[in-house]
Structure 1
Amino acid sequence: MIKRLLIIQSIVIILLVFLLTIYGRDEFHDHNQDQDRLENESFVISGNKLSLSETTQNLIGLRVQKVNSKVYAFNRELPGMIMPVTELIEAQRDTKILDLAISETSSRLNQRQQDLSRILNLFEAGKKASSRQLELAELEVEENEKVLKELLEEKEFLKLKIMATWSENIADMLGSEDQNFISILNKKTQIARFAIRDKIQIKNAKWWVNRVGE
């Protein structure tokens, strides 16, 4: 009899523990859900996130700023030098001299070509023009063409020389009165040249120059 009673008590205890486990777990989850989702007129809690209304933020003096992304780059020290403008000044002077000579030679060539055409017409018409005059006119045209070609080649060589030392943009400004170019010649704008060993993104780099001793 006692043994049977103990068995019944054991079964009842096991049943109570089982029911307590089931209902206790449900109650625990319900409580967590209530804690995870508390809503109020001034704030909202959802999981590990807290949302405050604009009024509450103003009351507690909270200021929210938008996050700005930044790109960080390695600092590099590159050896460089300020380019001397003596060569550039001389090239500017020589280019202007060449431009003047080219202009004068072109005008003279145009005149000699007109003379040759006039003498040729007279010679073919059998009028006051000899073969000697025609020959001299042709020689003058050829001589001026030769001089003009040499002047143009000299100017092109000078441009290529400056391009190799400086840049194509600066070489293209030789002989002009471009304000940026004049600023370089007057040393109001200085150009620095750097020795870059590695390949870098020039457009994404920031440059500054420290003079020796500073």
Structure 2
Amino acid sequence: MADNLSNQAINDLAQQSISKLYGHTLDRFSLLDANGNSRLADIGATVASRAKDFDYKGALSTVRDIGIGLSVLLAAILVVALLKIDRYWNERLAILRKTVTASPEAKKPGEDIFDARWQEVREHIKSTNAAEWRFAVIEADKILDDLLKKAKYPGDTFGERLMLMQPGDLATLDNLWSAHKLRNTIAHNPDYQVSYAEAREAIENYEKAIRELGELG
């Protein structure tokens, strides 16, 4: 009898709690059977049975399928984003190429060879060896002559091209004559001892003329 009263008290307490939560009592959640005995064991057995019968494999398969679907969706979004980025940069590069091609200051392939040759002249004039100064002057003279031929200045030799120039053609014309005369002296007189000062001055005059012709970076 005492056990039944105790069970009844527990059941009443449970019903009151459910009533407060849901606003009404739920008979199916009763903890007592018709005879007033506890149903906790039956409820536990029911829960265990349902847990045992639950299709875990099916649930895991569903979760796996959802995961695969999300992965495919994210991969598709990533591919689309990469394609858009690639197209954007290709368009930007195309615009840049057109801008560079249209620029009047853009050099054509191979024109920077004069820069490389002049860099070699600079390296030789930095030397402490007089033989390299001689080479620098002769090479600088040849570079400028090649540029004058490229610019269609008339004459068969460098000297003739200088003679046929008008005073307004090159502001450095007089200085070029001095540099070219030094070149001829060096080329035709192997015993001539060129000083660093005169070799350096000749190189500077050649460089001014080359820059006046729009070459060198």
TM-score between the two structures when normalised by the length of structure 1: 0.31
Larger Rg, first or second structure (1 or 2)? 2
Q: Which structure has the highest helix share of the two?
A: 2
Q: Which structure has the highest strand share of the two?
A: 1
Relative contact order, CA 8 A, sep 6+: which one is greater? 1
TM-score between the two structures when normalised by the length of structure 2: 0.30
